[in-house]
Amino acid sequence: MNSSISGPLLTDMLRFMDDLEIFDRSLGLNPFLILNGHGSRFELCFLEYINNPETKWHVNIDLPYGTSYWQVGDSSQQNGQFKMALTVLKQALVTMKNDLQYPFCIEKHEVIKLVKDAWHQSFSKVLTNKTAIAQRGWGPLNRNALLHPEISCTNTAIPPVVTAQSSLTTSTVSPEELNLSEGLAGTVINRIVAAVNKDARVNQAPAEAFAKRKASAKEAFIKHESRITAGRLASAGKFSLDCDVLELQRGRNDEKQAKCHQREKKRKAEYDALFVQIQDLKQKKLSPEDWTVPQLTLMIRWYRRPEDAALPKTKRERLVRYYEICGRGDPQVPELLTKLPSKRAVPDFFLPSPLPLLPTASIASVLGDHSDPAEEYVEALALNECATTEDDAPIAEEVHVVCCCGGNCDVGEDAEEEPDCYCYSCGGYCHENCCIMIGKRNSCNNCAAGV
């Protein structure tokens, strides 16, 4: 851990401000704090303090690797000026000491004056501080940091293009009558489809990658496979250090406590087993010279300490080792100092998202028309809950999901085949023959044709 900041030190800072009553909590409003992703923000003492109802703080962490864009202390007016001033002051100090024939070094007590003088030339300058605050969009609060060139270039949103629109919105020409595969028309159609697929890949691939990264991060938190960091929380879509993160950290501490308990339990079991063997050997009342090599090794294990050298190889050397250590007395009985913690529930935020319900419109078309939309939702919810086991799953004669293509279905509305391809555009289910791959997502005939 970096010696500059720690969880207890950060907690004491907030406690000191609360003792001064800088923020009025009588109105029911708690102070807000945004921090970078340093590891001290995830220590248990700090998380417990900011989530205590009596000392509640709304604390958020910033996006990892983006601290320099929003944090005022990293600006050239503050941190940049401080480093330059400190370099000049140190050079002047060692030059003066060299001219006076003093030791060519900087003593610890001289660092205080160097930092003080450099501070007055950087962090203490009010005018430049206001400039740094305004450039980062904190005062006035206008999100000016988003206009930074390195941030704005990552914006994938494409501005809308205004084009002239024809007054004709529909066409009666059948697709069979159009030339879609030959000549100039076929070439244009192929390029249009290629452009649409490319746009779909560009727009959907980052979203799918983010969804996978979010799911894997949540799974790692649930299994306590990795420590809590700003990067992993951001991957899971979590930026607020609320009770969910507190319970997650408590779960990790419980996991460590459980492992420590298992080690102590194993050490105690090994001691008890060794103690029984030692007592059996002592009851035989044999002299050390009459012991066998395993018996002699057993006695050496009993008196051995962690700082002892490796076990000798010959019996004579082991006998010498025994006489050297036998006067130590019996080893201390191991105690179970760590209690086995109870298992904690995983915070709801980090649980995997439930699967979507089947389309209620298709189910309602079979079960009958309902005037109340709420009844359709209850029907669909009940069917999904009933289908959790194979024995209770609804059979095809009771519930028949209709293809979302309707009249454009390639298989036919009366087909016995169940539609099992999910359309990411309309949220319905279609047959495999009606399924069209656009980018990396399935789409039905209606959505692909713009119906």
Mind listing the pLDDT tens digit of every residue in the chain (451 residues)? 345 789 999 999 999 999 999 998 888 899 999 998 888 999 999 999 999 999 999 999 987 777 888 888 888 899 999 999 999 999 999 999 999 989 888 999 999 999 999 999 999 999 999 999 998 888 888 888 888 888 777 776 555 544 555 555 566 777 667 777 777 777 887 888 888 777 766 666 666 766 777 777 777 777 766 788 888 888 888 889 999 899 888 888 888 888 899 999 999 999 999 999 999 998 988 999 999 999 999 999 999 988 888 988 899 999 999 999 988 888 888 888 888 887 777 677 766 555 444 444 443 443 344 444 444 444 444 444 444 433 443 333 334 456 777 777 777 656 666 676 777 677 677 777 777 776 656 778 777 776 5
Do 364 and 324 have their domain in common? no
Evaluate whether residue 427 is within a structural domain. Answer: yes
Helix (H) or strand (E) holding 430: strand 429-430
Phi, psi of 352 (to 5 degrees): -65, 145
Do 322 and 377 have their domain in common? no
CA distance 73 to 76: 8
Evaluate whether residue 177 is within a structural domain. Answer: no
Tokens of 360: 């209620």
| Residue 61 β-bridge partners | 35
Alpha helices in 136-242 (DSSP H): 149-152, 183-222, 230-235
Cβ(36)–Cβ(61) under 8 Å?
Answer: yes
Evaluate whether residue 431 is within a structural domain. Answer: yes
| Number of separate domains in the chain | 3
Do 86 and 126 have their domain in common? yes
The residue out of 277, 310, 328 marking a domain boundary is 328
pLDDT at 344: 74
The residue out of 105, 135, 165 marking a domain boundary is 135
Do 442 and 367 have their domain in common? yes
Do 324 and 364 have their domain in common? no
Question: What is the residue range of 280's domain?
Answer: 265-328
pLDDT at 353: 53
| 3-class DSSP assignment, residue 441 | strand
Cβ(442)–Cβ(424) under 8 Å?
Answer: yes
CA distance 430 to 439: 18
Evaluate whether residue 202 is within a structural domain. Answer: no
Sign of CA dihedral 164, 170, 176, 177: negative
Query: Does the predicted model carry a pTM greater than 0.85?
Result: no
CA distance 197 to 191: 10
Evaluate whether residue 77 is within a structural domain. Answer: yes
Cβ(436)–Cβ(448) under 8 Å?
Answer: yes
CA distance 103 to 93: 11
Do 279 and 321 have their domain in common? yes
| Residue 59 β-bridge partners | 33
- Quick one: DSSP state of residue 442? E
Cβ(240)–Cβ(30) under 8 Å?
Answer: no
CA distance 222 to 232: 12
- What's the CA dihedral at 170, 171, 176, 180 to 10 degrees? -80
The residue out of 135, 157, 173 marking a domain boundary is 135
